[in-house]
Each structure stands twice: as structure tokens, then as C-alpha cells.
Amino acid sequence: MEYLVSIIIPIYNVEKYLEKCIKSMINQTYRNLEIILINDGSTDESANICEKYKEQDNRIVFINKNNGGAASAKNEGLKIAKGDYITFVDSDDFVELYMIEYMVNTIKKYNSDIVQCSFTNLYKNTEKFKQDKIIEQKIGSKDFLELFLTKWDSNLFWNKLFKREVIENVFFKEGRCIDDEFFTYKCVINSKSIVTSNKIVYNYRMRKSGVMKSESSQKQILKDRVDYLYERYEIVRKIYKDLDKDFLEHLLTYYLIISKDYYVDEKLLDYMKNNLKSIKGKIITSNIDIRVKMQILKFMMTKSDKYIQSKNQLEEVAIDEDIYFE
């Protein structure tokens, strides 16, 4: 039996890169595909490009919708996806032609629920290299959740293939600047095992728009991080009580880092403190690193305007624009 794989591709004003993305999908060595293109109110030629390829390939499903953001576009795809397995590709990226075949074979080989592969961060000057050794490892969902604390790519969703059962009724949070972190860990919780592989199958295009954000976007990103860290801690600790300490310490450590961010303001600091007040008793009684505990309690007791005035904020990071795609 050849399983159906649904590929969800949210699209917004990417006429420059869209054809390469679509071609990398329709030319996959694995043929039993449902390629879902969701145009999220693009004002360039993206919709016309989608229409052109839909006429050429009957595996393509094309949805035209009003602009609602990437999360809403992906959610539209999830609502109609028919695949036994589901994956996502950003419309300015492209994948290796063997990606789906490799991921399906690997997830079947290990009888797993999710497979995570590796990727290349594609800059203007990136050169391809040949991989000498492919390493695959099957781990339980609880052990994989622990990787969220040390390996940032565990949060990503576009480097993974999901069995339908673990992704059903899990949707992206709309109105956010970042959405991986609100989504992926819930699918992991729904799974029994995950296979990780270092095989590079995905090319992630590094664009200026991805690193050069407006001040309002930077502040929204900080707010998103504050929310997902707290939400994830509350959900994970209820399911895996023995992960409580590690996820609490991770939450508090990153709250301290965020509190020093260049774009942090008093409103966000007060919001963070309100979150922390609800778990103050747990913070005091937990056996987390004493340095983290003392710093977070000091943060909670310091007025936000005084905290801002302490001039401890991290400097804004300079960006080398020349290495990024438009």
C-alpha cells in the first residue's frame, strides 16, 4: 500500500521563489501526493502561478483566501488534508526531490509517528556538501520533549512528517508572529515515538524579511515567546510530572533572557510577572538552580520601570544584509 502524503504550503507574495518550491514538490520521487497550495491574499503573481501549476498537475489543490496570516493558511490546509501523513513546506523554500520518499520509508521502517530530518540554512553564498554518514534514531515522545529544552530545531514543524493521528485536532495559533512553538510539542505529546535523522532534505531560504523585523513585530515575537513558554510548561507538567523541574527552570531562564531584550517594555514585563505570580509557590519550593530562582524572585519584586532603567538590556544585534535573499 502506498500511503497518501499531504503537503501544506502557505503562500503570501513569494512570486520570486514560488515556482522553485512547487517544482520541488511535483517532481518528488514519491508520487502519491496531495499538494495543497493556500494563497493567503497575495497581491503579486503568486495566485496566477498556483493556477498555472494546478492545471498541469491534478495532485494540486489550490485555495484562494483573504489574508489572515500564515497560521490561518496552514489551518485551512489542515482542515481539508486527506493524507495518511502530513507535512509542511514554506513557499519561499524548496526541498530535495527524495524528501517525501525518504521520510515515508523512515517512518514505516521504525513504525513511528513522526520523523524529523535535517535542513540547510540557505544563504546567498551557501555551498552544497555531501553527507558521508546518515544517523537515524528512534526515541519516545517524552524523551523527545526533553530535547525542546536544548535543541531549538525540535520546535520546528517543516522538517517533520506527521502521522495523521497525531496531528488531528491540533491547529496553529492565529495572530502570532511565531507559530512553531505553539504547535509542534502538542503533536509530540500525541505520539508514541519519533525518529530523528541527520539526512538533509529541506532548504530553508534565509531572507531579509525573516531577520529584519519592525519594532512592533519584534515586540510581538517577545510576547509570543512569553506565552508559548508558559503554556507549554503548564501542559507538559500535567502530563509528565517528572519533567516539571526541567521545564520550569527552562521557562524561568528564558523569562530572564527576555526581560533583558532590546525590545522589551514595561507592559510585557508586567505581563510576565503576572504569569509568574500564578506559579510563585512552585518557584519557591522547587529545587531548580538557586541562581535562577534568586534572579527570578528579584525580577518579580522589582518595579518594571526601575528594571528598564537598570540599563541591563541586551544590545540590538547588527545584521549583515548582504548574505540574505530578498
Q: List, for residues 130-163, the tens digit of each pLDDT value.
A: 777 999 999 999 999 999 999 999 999 999 999 9
Q: In terms of C-beta distances under 8 Å and separation of at least 24 residues, what long-range contacts does 316-322 make, across chains too?
A: 316/262, 317/262, 319/208, 319/211, 319/212, 321/208, 321/212, 322/124
Angle between helices 266-277 and 215-239 (to 10 degrees): 10
Task: Give CA 321 to chain center in angstroms.
Answer: 23
Average pLDDT over residues 224-239: 97
Q: List, for residues 287-316, the tens digit of each pLDDT value.
A: 999 999 999 999 999 998 877 766 455 555
SS (H, E, C) the chain: CCCCEEEEEEECCCCCCHHHHHHHHHCCCCCCEEEEEEEECCCCCHHHHHHHHHHHCCCEEEEEECCCCHHHHHHHHHHHCCCCEEEECCCCCEECCCHHHHHHHHHHHCCCCEEEEEEEEECCCCCCCCCCCCCEEEEEHHHHHHHCCCCHHHHCCCCEEEEHHHHCCCCCCCCCCCCHHHHHHHHHHHCCEEEEEEEEEEEEECEHHHHCCCHHHHHHHHHHHHHHHHHHHHHHHHHCHHHHHHHHHHHHHHHHHHHCCCCCCHHHHHHHHHHHHCCHHHHHHCCCCHHHHHHHHHHHHCCHHHHHHCCCCCCCCCCCHHHCEC
pLDDT score at 313? 53
Mean pLDDT of the chain: 92
pLDDT score at 130? 75
Q: Is the pLDDT of residue 193 over 70?
A: yes
Angle between helices 290-301 and 244-259 (to 10 degrees): 50
pLDDT score at 65? 97
pLDDT score at 314? 52
Reported as a pLDDT band with limits 50, 70 and 90, residue 245 is very high
pLDDT score at 208? 74
Read off the amino acid at residue 252.
L
Q: Is the pLDDT of residue 190 over 90?
A: yes
pLDDT score at 311? 46
Q: Which three cell numbers stand for residue 269?
A: 514585563
Q: List, for residues 58-105, the tens digit of each pLDDT value.
A: 999 999 999 999 999 999 999 999 999 999 999 999 999 999 999 999
End-to-end CA, the chain: 42
**Phi/psi at 234 (nearest 5 deg)?**
-60, -40
**Phi/psi at 171 (nearest 5 deg)?**
-125, 160
Contacts of 50 (CB under 8 A, 6+ apart): 11, 18, 22, 37, 39, 60, 62
